[in-house]
Structure 1
Amino acid sequence: MERGELARAVTECLWREPDGLSAASVVDRLSQHDGRRLAVTTALTVLERLRHKGLVDRVRQGKSYLYTAVADRESLVVEAMTAALADSSDRTLALSRFVDAMTPQEQATLRAALGGQP
């Protein structure tokens, strides 16, 4: 599982549990979901990276923390799209191909979001 996929899977766990999860609980949920067993330290690393990005919050509960998703699914999609665009050597071409892959309705929604600009 790549780092981006793991961050997405961790965030999915947190969205399903709005009251929060410990890192150990995240590991358990991921194991139940896809059969993979992560180290708790790996889950903690991912959770802390997400927290530093402002996507996750934590509250101390006893000796550990409960983590909750701060951002919604759409915010995570924006982050992924921004990261993908940053990886492109030709941002204009990448954006053009992205728009070409959209349905006409999605293109109209994008135009409206840009204030009707062509």
Structure 2
Amino acid sequence: MIARVKIDEDLPRQVADLVADRGYDATTVVGRGWQGAPDDDLWARVQDEGRWLITADKGFADLRLHPAGSHAGVILLRAVEESHRAYLELAAIALDRLKLDDLAGAVVVVTHRSVRIRRAPVN
């Protein structure tokens, strides 16, 4: 099954293009008209669609609020500088190193130095 991905409004639209170019089903928060929605509402909508969320908002990767395995998956892009270029570089790093279809429910934090993956606990 091909992973479905939603790109948050805090990231450039080109991130969705990168994701789609890698064969994933990519849509954007802006494309759905959800920009400005409260985080709780946005989270519920993205999860109702069964999509990964790619974002720069640290709150969505908070394991206390959204533990691994309780959702479709989150990728947090942590750029040192907030720029289109930096976010595109981080998205490319994530897509080069990860196969989303194998990481359902994971919380992934991507920096220029590392890719950290938190998976759901195995029962």
Task: Tell me the TM-score range normalised by the shorter chain.
Answer: under 0.3
Of structures 1 and 2, the one scoring higher in RCO (CA 8 A, sep 6+) is 2
TM-score by length of 1: 0.28
Query: Whose Rg is larger?
Result: 1
Normalized per residue, the structure richer in strand is 2
Normalized per residue, the structure richer in helix is 1
